Chain A
Amino acid sequence: MSELLRAEHLTRHFKIGGMLSRRTLHAVDDVSFSIGEREIVALAGESGSGKSTIARVLARIYTLTSGQVYFEGTPLSAIRSRRDGLRYAGLVPMVFQDPFASINPVFRVQHGVLRILKLHRPELSARQRLDEAERVFGVVGLGADMLERFPYELSGGQRQRVGFAQALAMRPKLILADEPVSMLDVSIRIGLLNLMAKLRDEEGVSILYITHDIASARYVADRLIVMYAGQLAESGPIEDVLTAPKHPYTQLLLSAVPDPMAPLSQVNDRGEPPKVVDPAPGCRFRWRCPLAIETCSTVTPILAELQPGHEVACHVAQTGAEVKAFAS
């Protein structure tokens, strides 16, 4: 599998407080990962862990504090002209969380798709644009008659399909999907997840699937990246990570997933997120970690490959000891 996007030491800080404040929020700190072609990578973590910040950095909505992102070998910092920016935006579009807020309510649904086609593929004639709009609607499972509808006539699931159709109209290589199903009803979600798998298998698109729902990540994704407090905790092929999680946080996350078919696990973690304003060095999970050792409070753990493709940022796991912080 060839590499499509590589992020190296991705860091994004935000200044917070008033003008004279020196406090800095470390939203994303030193995160490195890559996304291959035809691959769905799930990015999981609790709210505030920096998942959405990463999506916005990759979409060039936020600039980087430090680090670099390479797309097909070219660094994002090399994009200077409007034309290059537009080209990149077309190759890496975003699908948003809230399908009720992301479509303009005063225009027919086709408006968005046709505008995208006009902007990103100016070589098409008006007739071809309409044909193409029908084609992408067909791919996402919407009939051509949907083009004439207004957003209020569509259900949440249909709207989110419109979101994917719009992304697809740009002929993307990588879709950044930020919690695309979390606002939808459970009976509708599976359909969207199946659509994501179809886009990968039939259209050859890679997807960065941002979610806090591990079970849905397992359903569609090839690889899983777990973030905690702005840092990468663990990453690897999804089945490896889920069957043998090495980072205590991943274990905690898995133990908390509600599963009616499994007995209730006993976990006494409150789920209080850590502070990432001017953090001191050390592992950010150490306050919640039952296995924390002295090194954890002084040295920030960095990712190390424990098994082929399976990387973990945990001092205890890296000593080779078996980590069993939370039973799942």
Chain B
Amino acid sequence: MSEAHEILEVSGLSVDYVLPLQDVRAVDDVSFTVDRGEFLGIVGESGCGKSTLLFAVAQLLAPPALIAAGSVKFEGTNLVGLTDKQLSAIRWRDMSVVMQSAMNALNPVKSIGAQFKDALQAHGKPSKEEIATRSAEVLRMVGIDPVHLKSYPHQLSGGMRQRSMIAMAMLFTPDLIIMDEPTSALDVVAQRSLMTQIKELQQAYGFAVIFVTHDMSLISHFSDRLMVMYAGQIDELGDTRTIFDRPPHPYTQGLLEAFPSIRGPRVPLKGIPGNPPDMAAIPTGCRFHPRCPHAVERCTVTAPDLYPLDGDLVRCLRRQDGTLPKADQQGSLSR
């Protein structure tokens, strides 16, 4: 991977929530890169730090959260420490964010067109015609009739609102679009349709996507690389297909086995025992060991690093030597 292809380089990023009793580290030493035009999926349960990580990448953190260490290099510029003014030149033009709930992200008392206009005018002085043409253009890209520029958010369905958020994020054809669970408020049919569309747009316009979700199966067909987070750390980072075919980390295995399938035999599932850890009282050693079916004694004392395994990275002591124990290779996903 040459330097020129990397659009985003996050290294050693840690985020603390500064609280009266105790500081809580929500994101702990996270490093990854995103290539131009790549689709990176980030998966994890609630409280694993995935949204905090996104906010840190987009420099949207507000107190009590603050970046304690690390850098976020976007197209060669370190975003950490930039002023709001410097950031606003980049935001929306080169990097945009699509939030989870479009109902809350859109202004309810302004028409869609007026909100597009605001965004366009924030970067330069476009003429009326330019605004009208570009707004209609992006709405058409996401498959909405431009007459809806005059519509207010409440007049649109949930799927259309989410689509218009994506249209807005594409106003300047940015290089990176960050999406925080954009489909979780939609039902399966609308969800599938939106995912397909995001992928098509991405291939047509070549922007990179960071897509955060708690639903692993949703992005299985769409993301190039997958990052699994647990308790503020990267648990696993690698090629999506490889991870689905033979998940090396016990947590990922558990996540995949927690899904009932609509095909094949009906098998009893167990899910992952226990609950995600309290970030103020993180377990010693491997953070997953209290819930891990394969945990051995050293897991309770030694904190694992990210070890390479067939080009992927895995945070598990049992993968330290770069191999996959035989038992696991078949064990999971036999369904």
Contact = CB atoms under 8 A, between A and B. Distances in A.
Interface residues of A, number: 42
A171 B157 CA distance: 41
A218 B216 contact: no
B238 interface: no
Given A188-B271, A256-B192, A271 B266 contact: no
A274 to B, nearest CB: 10
B66 interface: no
A271 B214 contact: no
B190 to A, nearest CB: 3
Given A190-B270, A193-B260, A269 B193 contact: yes
In the A-B complex, the 8 residue pairs with the smallest Cβ-Cβ separation, listed nearest first, are: A271-B190, A190-B271, A260-B220, A219-B260, A271-B189, A187-B272, A256-B192, A46-B187
A262 interface: yes
Interface in A246-292: 252-262, 264, 267-273
A262 B266 CA distance: 16
A91 interface: no
B189 A189 contact: no
B258 interface: yes
Interface in B125-153: 143
21 contacts: A47-B187, A185-B45, A187-B45, A187-B255, A187-B258, A188-B275, A190-B258, A190-B260, A194-B268, A212-B188, A215-B261, A218-B266, A252-B189, A253-B188, A258-B220, A259-B262, A261-B244, A267-B189, A270-B190, A270-B193, A271-B191
A47 B143 CA distance: 21
B221 interface: yes
B44 to A, nearest CB: 9
A158 B266 CA distance: 26
A260 B256 contact: yes
Contact of B214 (A158, A185, A212): A185
Interface of A: 46-47, 155-158, 185-191, 193-194, 212-216, 218-219, 242, 252-262, 264, 267-273
Interface of B is mostly: loop
Contacts of B255: 186-187
Interface string B184-207: 001111111110000000000000
Contacts of A253: 188-189
B166 to A, nearest CB: 14
A194 B268 CA distance: 8
A259 B263 contact: yes
A187 B214 CA distance: 10
A319 B275 CA distance: 51
Contacts of B260: 190, 193, 215-216, 218-219
Contacts of B275: 155, 157-158, 188
